[in-house]
Structure 1
Amino acid sequence: MIVDDHAIVGGGLKQFLGNVGGFEIAGQARTGAEGLAMVETGKWDLVLLDIGLPDMNGIEVLKQIKRSQPDLPVLVFSMYAEDDYAMTALEAGAIGYLPKDCSPEEILVAIRRASSDERYLSPNLAEKLLCGSLPTSRKLPHDALSAREFDVMQMLSRGTPLVEIAERLHLSPKTVSTYRARVMEKLGLQHNTDITRYVLKHKLGQ
């Protein structure tokens, strides 16, 4: 499955892999939300994921995929330079990081390895990792949230009442209040409106 908002990328990859043979692009999503929904609807061998999606940051999409499908390989395929996001993507669970300006041969090697559950690093990225010259990943406040705290944060950002959150997550309202307090503390926020702004700013999906 390809998660990329540029139709020409998906179409080009579909044609390229069709000509090579042995692979089929069985699903294409244009947004992070579409990608997350599609992940749950079928059995996929590999997800090719862009970072610059219109509704969500691709790294956040990656984290959510790995929460629900920890064994599903996700290969990040991005226009952003490896120095900017490679470490962040790998730490979030990506099986590899592939810049969009790489050669067709490298794309094929990466897809073959990733679909066989083998980590893929470009020669350039591997050398930087060995030399320790790659910048460390940039940690953000929401990276410290647990999966449950993240769910509560997203619901609060949509204006969902605590009682309704409790019903959806099968928790008591008191427990949800505790999660809300932890979210506020970890993000350094004061009000629910601050949570909404934070979610929108970091494209965490609503």
Structure 2
Amino acid sequence: MIIKTFLADDHRLFRDGLRRILAETADIVVVGEAIDGLDALKKMRLGGWDVALLDVSMPGMSGLEVLKRIMDEDPKHRVLMLSTYHEDEYAIRAIRAGTSAYLTKNSPTDLLISVIRRLAHGGRYIDPKLAEKLLFGLGPSSTMPRHSTLSNREFDVLKLIAVGISLTEISQKLKLSAKTISTYRARVLEKMGMQNNAQLIRYVAEHKLLE
């Protein structure tokens, strides 16, 4: 069985590296690529792929939003989310949105290939440590943190505010208008029950969301 993969990442060097890795296998081929979220969603809707590899954070529409939309349209899709982020929050959001697997970009090559094959045959993959946290962190006695109410893009904005990036810089990084970023910030403050950036920064630090 030849496994047809689709790659979506805004970093060309990373896509090139992935393509070279997959080219060394006898059963995995790349049939399509995308450079941002909107491009990915448009091309993925055309079909013709077995497993899609999506970057969690892409400009315009995030990989998490692409995942949510594509899974809403067909829950049988097999999607592997890739991220530079090590924190569990992104993995949990991806799992809730329907991803079949989640790996960090520095995962071993043999694990990446193994997971792609597993997904192509109908399986899933979740890191054992993350599975344990999900099992014990989502029980009846657990309380959900305030940031769990944020949308994926609102969560992105929260983290960027926390590292001291201005709204203008955030808009450039995410390729969204400054007005849109201001709206996201207002929603974050409202949902979190906070008044200013200082409170957001303190919350992020206390909950170790940047680690």
In the TM superposition, 1:1-206 aligns within 5 A as: 1-132=6-137, 138-140=148-150, 197=180, 201=184
TM-score when normalising by structure 1: 0.64
Q: Separation in 2 of the partners of 1:39 and 1:11? A: 19
Q: Which amino acid aligns with 2:133?
A: K
| Pair 1:130–1:4, CA change in 2 (3 A) | same
Q: Which amino acid aligns with 1:79?
A: T
What is the total number of aligned residue pairs between the two structures?
A: 150
Q: Which amino acid aligns with 2:149?
A: K
Residues 29-50 of structure 1, C-alpha deviations (whole Å, 9 max, x = no match): 0111111110122321011111
Residues 12-44 of structure 1, C-alpha deviations (whole Å, 9 max, x = no match): 111111112200011010111111110122321
Paired residue secondary structure (2:31): coil
Q: Separation in 2 of the partners of 1:39 and 1:116? A: 19
Residues 48-100 of structure 1, C-alpha deviations (whole Å, 9 max, x = no match): 11111011122111111112232111110111114131111001010111111
Whether contact under 8 Å (2:45, 2:70) holds in the other structure is no
Residues 112-158 of structure 1, C-alpha deviations (whole Å, 9 max, x = no match): 1122221111233234334549x878233699xxxxxxxxxxxxxxx
Q: Runs of 4+ in structure 1 displaced over 6 angstroms?
A: none
1:167 corresponding residue in structure 2: none
Q: Which runs of 5+ in 1 are unaligned?
A: 144-195
| Pair 1:63–1:200, CA change in 2 (3 A) | farther
TM-score when normalising by structure 2: 0.63
* Structure with the higher strand share, 1 or 2: 2
Paired residue secondary structure (2:29): coil
Identical-pair percentage:
36
Q: Separation in 1 of the partners of 2:115 and 2:182? A: 32
1:165 corresponding residue in structure 2: none
Whether contact under 8 Å (1:5, 1:53) holds in the other structure is yes
Q: Which runs of 5+ in 2 are unaligned?
A: 1-5, 139-143, 154-178, 186-211
| Pair 1:41–1:110, CA change in 2 (3 A) | same
Whether contact under 8 Å (2:22, 2:29) holds in the other structure is yes
Whether contact under 8 Å (1:44, 1:72) holds in the other structure is no
Q: Which amino acid aligns with 1:105?
A: D
Q: CA RMSD in A?
A: 2.8
